[in-house]
Amino acid sequence: MSITSLFLYVFFGTAICFLYFHLSNLALDFASKKNTIKFSQKSVLRPYIFIAPAVIILVIFILYPVVETLRLSFFNKTGFEFVGIKNYVWAANDPEFKRAILNNLGWLLVVPTLSAFFGLVIAYLADKLWWGTIAKSIIFMPMAISFVGAGVIWKFVYDYRGPGDDQIGFLNAIVVSLGFEPQAWMTIPVWNNLFLMAIMVWIQTGLAMVIFSAALRGIPKEMLEAARIDGASEFKIFTKIIIPYLEKTILVIWTIITILVLKIFDIILAMTNGQWNTEVLANLMYDWMFRGGGDSGRGSLMAIVIMIGVIPIMIWNIRRHKEDEKS
C-alpha cells in the first residue's frame, strides 16, 4: 500500500458513498418535478433513500449473522449436518471450555468492580484539586491506545530475567529490591489472570472516571454543604450521599465494562494466547474458527455463550430507551 493508492482508495471509497445519497435525492426531486411521481409519493419514498444503505448493512452484517450463528451452533464443523445439541454437550465436558468460562467469570467479577471503584475515587479526588484536570487527563490516556499496545506496555512491566541478572521489568525490579525472588508472572496459574486483568483495569478506569466526573457535577451543591454544616466527615459524605446519588451511573458503567470484558480477546491473544490457564471465551472462539481447518459449530457455540451473557443487559437497555422516548 503506497501513499498514492491510499489517497485513491480513501477518495473513491467515500465518493461512492456520498454520490449515492446525492444522486438518488436529486433523481427523486427531478422525477417529482417532471410529475413522473406524485408529491405525496415523493415524501413517502425519501425516507427509504435515507435509510436504505444503513438497513442493508445492518441486515447483512448484524441481523443475518446473528441468526446464522445461532443455527450453526447446532450444526457440525462444516455447517452442513445437523447435530442437535452435540456441540453443547461437547462444550460442557471440555476442560478448556470450562476453564474459559471460569476465567471469564473472574474477569467479570474483578474488572468492572475495580475500574468503577478506582474511577469513582479518582474522579472525586480530582474534583477537589487544582491539578485535577491534568491528573484526569493522564489517567484517561490508556483509553486511547490499543489493547495490543497496552499488552506490549505491560509485558515490559512483567518481564522476567533469571535471579542472577539485572531485571528490566519494573515489577520484578521492585520485587527483587524488596528482597524476594523474581517471578515469571505470566506463567503462574490463577495469579497470571489477575495480572492480565490489571491491564484492563488500567485501561477502563479512565472511562469510568470521565463518566463519574460528569455525573458528580450533577450533584446539588446545597446537599453537600448541608451535610458539611451538620459535621459529616468527607468519608461519610462520600459513602452516604455521593455513592447512593450515583447509583444509576454506577450501573451504566458496570454494564459498559461488563460487555467489553465478555469480549476480551486482544490482551489474551497478545500476552499468553490462552496458555498457563488464561484462556477466555473470545480467544477460544478465535482459535476454533481456524483450529483443525475451522469448526464453525463449536466456534458459533462460543459466540452464543458470549451473547447469552449480553442479553440481560440488552433487554435492560431497550427498556431504558423506551422509557426515555416516552418522557
Whole-angstrom CA distances from 202 to 64, 136, 236 are 36, 13, 27
For the segment 188-227, give every residue that binds another protein (CB under 8 A).
202, 205, 207, 210-211, 214-215
Q: Are 308 and 88 in contact (CB under 8 A)?
A: no
| 182 makes contact with another protein (CB under 8 A) | no
Q: Which is nearer to another protein, 81 or 234 (CB)?
A: 234
For the segment 21-60, give every residue that binds another protein (CB under 8 A).
21, 25, 29, 43-44, 46-48, 50-51, 53-55, 57-58, 60
Q: Are 254 and 116 in contact (CB under 8 A)?
A: yes
CB burial readout 228-246, b (16+ within 10 A) else e: eeeeeeeeebeeebbeebb
Q: Which is nearer to another protein, 89 or 168 (CB)?
A: 168
Q: Which is nearer to another protein, 57 or 105 (CB)?
A: 57
Question: Using the rule CB under 8 A, which residue among 31, 37, 69, 99 binds another protein?
Answer: 69
Angle at 162 (CA atoms; ends 160, 164), nearest 5 degrees? 130
For the segment 244-273, give every residue that binds another protein (CB under 8 A).
249, 252-253, 256, 259, 262-263, 265-266, 269-271
Angle at 134 (CA atoms; ends 130, 138), nearest 5 degrees? 145
Q: Which is nearer to another protein, 153 or 188 (CB)?
A: 153
For the segment 84-103, give every residue that binds another protein (CB under 8 A).
none
Q: Is the CA virtual torsion 11, 16, 22, 27 positive or negative?
A: positive
Shortest Å distance, C-beta 12 to another protein: 9
Shortest Å distance, C-beta 185 to another protein: 14
For the segment 125-144, give every residue that binds another protein (CB under 8 A).
125-126, 128-129, 132, 135, 137-144
Q: Which is nearer to another protein, 102 or 198 (CB)?
A: 198
Give the distance, in angstroms, between the CA of residue 112 and the centroid of all CA atoms in the same chain.
Answer: 11
Shortest Å distance, C-beta 50 to another protein: 4
Q: Which is nearer to another protein, 107 or 154 (CB)?
A: 154
Q: Are 87 and 69 in contact (CB under 8 A)?
A: no
**Site residue total, another protein (CB under 8 A):** 116
The neighbour count for residue 292, using CB atoms within 10 Å, is 8
Q: Are 133 and 142 in contact (CB under 8 A)?
A: no
For the segment 266-325, give every residue that binds another protein (CB under 8 A).
266, 269-271, 282, 285-286, 289, 296, 299-300, 302-304, 306-307, 310, 313-314, 317-318, 320-322, 324-325
CA atoms of 65 and 53, how far apart (whole Å): 17
CA atoms of 104 and 85, how far apart (whole Å): 23
Scanning the chain, the segments in alpha helix (DSSP H) are 3-33, 39-58, 64-72, 86-93, 95-126, 132-140, 147-157, 170-177, 191-216, 221-229, 234-237, 243-245, 247-262, 266-271, 281-290, 296-326
Shortest Å distance, C-beta 298 to another protein: 10
Q: Which is nearer to another protein, 10 or 92 (CB)?
A: 10
Whose cell is 444509576? That residue is 248
Whole-angstrom CA distances from 315 to 16, 309, 324 are 37, 11, 14
Shortest Å distance, C-beta 9 to another protein: 6
Question: Using the rule CB under 8 A, which residue among 38, 109, 149, 220 binds another protein?
Answer: 149
Shortest Å distance, C-beta 276 to another protein: 15
Question: Using the rule CB under 8 A, which residue among 61, 82, 180, 191 binds another protein?
Answer: 61
Q: Which is nearer to another protein, 44 or 109 (CB)?
A: 44
Strand, coil or helix: 179: coil
Shortest CA distance to 213 belongs to which of 129, 325, 108? Answer: 129
Shortest Å distance, C-beta 33 to another protein: 11
